[in-house]
Chains A and B, each alone.
Chain A
Amino acid sequence: MSGASLATGGVPAAATYHRPGSIRRERRWALIGAYAALAVFVVFFLLPPIYMVITSLKSSAEIADLDGNPWLVSQPTLSNYWELLTEGNFLLHFRNSIIVTAFVVSITMVISVLAAFSLSRMRFWGSGVLATGVFLTYLVPETLLFIPLFQIIGGIGMYNNLWAMVLIYPTLTVPFCTWIMIGYFSSIPKELDEAALIDGANHFQMLWKIFIPVALPGILAATIFAFTVSWAQFLYPMAFLVSSDQMVLTTGIISDLVRGDTFAWGKIMAGAIMAALPPLLVYAFLMDYYIAGLTAGATKG
């Protein structure tokens, strides 16, 4: 209906002279336009993954065959997947990725929820400057940071150590997550914490029983962000991890499956698809909840 009211709202004088059914017709054309635009979008973004799936189902010989149609599979095989799961370090990299991501997400959420709560609610000297400072740190690109970080990590003897990632990733995730959450916490009416204060809550209870449940959509958004960043992080593990047993998926796949100028395309594609599964599951699972939370908070008053 909003499409229709928008369409008529633009020409209030002419609305009186609309022929019967013209609003419905306008709405139909708006829908057709929207579908056409979305279709282009979907094709553009789904083609690469489809090509990945097709390639992952081919044997090396079929991939190398220049005569066949690259979009078709003549002899589908799961051998790429099977070999990845049974030989080499793929499972180890997977496990490493899960460990790093789980720790990074937990650490990030604890730090940024606490930081956002104090920065948005407990007015103290310099809290405004600090809030802006947090955001500014996020603007420093990681490509600039990894050189000094290399010195620090080397200095504390954590070069080529998986746990160094747990230490470094939060420098990327915490500022942004804190920033998202400051926005969310600030949108919670001040009277809500005053009511909680009078009801007898201390600051920790206020955070735990009021702020976190009320800001859950924001917290989930931040969690998704932290998860995505640490799961897909490439530069830092590339710079700091050298031996295969310490590597995470992003670097593990290319270092183990690219030997000199030999690319095991089938396995690379199979590995990439399996690596993409966890984010897919997280998005699918959290997104429903996330949207439900968003719309529940939207109808205020």
Chain B
Amino acid sequence: MAQVSIRRIVKEYEGGVQAVKGIDLEIADHEFVVLVGPSGCGKSTTLRMIAGLEEITSGDIAIGGTVVNDIPPRDRDIAMVFQNYALYPHMTVFENMAFGLTLRRFPKEEIRRRVDNAARILDIAPLLERKPKALSGGQRQRVAMGRAIVRDPKVFLFDEPLSNLDAKLRVQMRTEIKKVHQTVRTTTVYVTHDQVEAMTLADRVVVMNHGVIEQVGPPTELYHRPTTKFVAGFIGSPAMNFIPARLMDGGAAMNVVLADGITLPVPEERGRRYAAHAGREVLFGIRPEHLTEIRPNDHRPHLASFQAVPEVVEPMGMETLLHFWLQGHEVCARVEPTTPAEPGRPLPLAADMSQMHLIDPGTERVL
């Protein structure tokens, strides 16, 4: 068990392409950190540099206080789970899990004990004598995790481990991974492009884009207090709506004025924060779940109502998604399934202004 320190690491490929542009990250002992971002954001490269599968162009990576830049993967005391499982096809499940221990010359009884223990945690004890080709996708994923667990390493590295599974199994294995981490408490770095996985698994989420870290924080913080437009749009599903607007100083309170005359009052407590931006163009950001139907006796403060004409209505069962146009921008709202929404029929909606964000369109930073 150990902490992982990443200091100003850069990965530059031949031809000068920088995949990772000098990032800093401290991962505490026992922590579950998820690196998330779109493809090509540098998350996998970062993970592979921690693993030692990719050389570091500059900067330092330390595991448990030791700088590992020049230490080969086998001596870093890490275990990795790959997207395509990477099970050895000619070995049984037992041999797959025992391989790392056999190479390290562990005594036979110790190997047996550890493999049995991991098989029990992962519920794969009856499969130990099978070959990987006789396993389902979910079972293979468990074996790959078992291979990591038996090693009892300092750090677990997961490289998009659930991407090859179908939707249902993915949810199931997600829970499984969380359970395993709660049992073994090994420091974990997990890479995914799926923000739902990131939110549900992580103690802290690291959002990456174009080789830099956009924001690091616990899932709820990223959700409620994103610092950049990218994070605001990346975290949450369906994604946050962004509508160009102007911030107007209305004397007693400030207002967000959309171009077609819709005026939405800014909560008073935010007035000071936005004072410097009065009169400027901003991006008004609000999540679909904060654009709802108007409920009778709704006592939420800072509700602002406006009319919308849904173009598409998507009933999801537990909720209904409405898509409509505001100033040439498609906007999504999330309403109760009982709401009588029909395409083309105007419907009053309420924006919860206490949950909105204003973004500087120039710097793309949240104000």
Are A197's CB and B99's CB within 8 A? Answer: no
A144 interface residue per 8 A CB criterion: no
- In angstroms, Cα B53 to Cα A192, docked, is 12
Q: Which of A192, A202, A205, A296 has the most CB of B within 10 A?
A: A192
The answer to whether B88 touches A200 (Cβ under 8 A) is no
Q: Are B79 and A214 in contact (CB under 8 A)?
A: no
Q: Which of A189, A191, A196, A213 makes the CB contact (< 8 A) with B90? A: A213
Per the 8 Å Cβ criterion, residues 69-108 of B in contact with A are 72-74, 78-80, 82-84, 86, 88-90, 99-100, 103-104
Q: Is A198 a contact partner of B133 (Cβ separation < 8 A)? A: no
Does B286 interact with chain A (Cβ within 8 Å)?
no
B51 at interface, CB cutoff 8 A: yes
Contact B103 A195 (CB under 8 A): no
With a cutoff of 8 Å between Cβ atoms, the chain A residues found around residue B78 in the complex are: 198
Residues of A within 8 A of B99 (CB): 196, 199, 209
Chain B residues lying within 8 Å of A210, measured Cβ to Cβ, are: 88
* Residues A192 and B88 in contact, CB atoms below 8 Å apart: yes
Q: Is B147 part of the binding interface, using a Cβ–Cβ cutoff of 8 Å?
A: yes
B51 touching A198, Cβ below 8 Å:
yes
A-B contact count (CB 8 A): 60
**Which A residues lie within 8 Å of B74 (CB)?**
197-202
Asked if A194 and B86 make an inter-chain contact with CB atoms under 8 angstroms apart, the answer reads yes
Chain B residues, Cβ within 8 Å of A192: 86, 88
Bound Cα distance from A153 to B80, whole angstroms = 53
A143 contacts partner chain B, Cβ-Cβ < 8 Å: no
Separation of A224 and B86 alpha carbons in the complex (Å): 29
Q: Is the CB of B100 within 8 A of A200?
A: yes
Q: Which of A200, A214, A297 contacts B103 (CB 8 A)?
A: A200
Q: What is the CA–CA distance of A195 and B84 in the complex, to the nearest angstrom?
A: 11
CB-based contact A189/B84 at 8 Å: yes
A194/B90 contact (C-beta < 8 A), A200-B103, A201-B103, A296-B133 known: no
Q: How large is the interface on B (under 10, 10 to 19, 20 to 34, 35 or more residues)?
A: 20 to 34
Q: A299 near B: Cβ within 8 Å?
A: yes
Chain A, interface residues (CB within 8 Å), range: 20 to 34
Task: Return B356 CB to nearest CB of chain A, in Å.
Answer: 44
Question: Closest CB of chain A to B267's CB: distance in Å?
Answer: 51
Q: Cβ of B103: which chain A residues have Cβ within 8 Å of it? A: 199-201, 205
Output the nearest chain A residue to B164 by Cβ-Cβ distance.
Answer: A301
Question: How far is the CB of A64 from the nearest CB of chain B, in Å?
Answer: 58
Q: Which one, A189, A199, A216, contacts B100 given CB within 8 A?
A: A199
| B residues near A216, Cβ cutoff 8 Å | 90
- Identify which of A191, A194, A200, A214 gathers the most chain B CB atoms within 10 Å of its CB: A200
Task: Select from chain B the residue with minimum beta-carbon distance to A212.
Answer: B90
The CA-CA distance from A201 to B147 in the complex, in Å, is 14
Q: How far is the CA of A299 from the CA of B84 in the complex (A)?
A: 14
In contact, A189 and B133 (Cβ under 8 angstroms): no
- How far is the CB of B332 from the nearest CB of chain A, in Å? 36
A261 to B73 Cα, complex, angstroms:
71
Using a CB-CB cutoff of 8 Å, which residues 41-87 of chain B contact chain A? Answer: 51-53, 72-74, 78-80, 82-84, 86
Tell me how far the C-beta of B96 lies from the nearest C-beta in chain A, rounded to whole angstroms. Answer: 9
Q: Are A197 and B100 in contact (CB under 8 A)?
A: no
- B86, A189: Cβ atoms under 8 Å? yes
Beyond A191-B82, A296-B133, A299-B133, whether A198 also contacts B88 by CB under 8 A is no
B72 touches A194 (CB 8 A): no
Smallest beta-carbon distance B145→chain A, Å: 13
| Pair B53/A197 contact, Cβ less than 8 Å | yes
The answer for the CA separation of A29 and B101 in the assembled complex, in Å, is: 57
- If A200-B100, A202-B74 are given as contacts, then 11 extra A-B residue pairs at C-beta distance below 8 Å, sorted by A number, are A189-B84, A191-B82, A192-B88, A194-B73, A195-B147, A197-B52, A198-B52, A198-B79, A200-B74, A200-B103, A210-B88
Can you list 11 contacts pairing A with B, beta carbon distance less than 8 Å? Answer: A194-B53, A194-B80, A194-B82, A195-B86, A195-B147, A196-B99, A198-B74, A199-B99, A200-B100, A202-B74, A214-B89
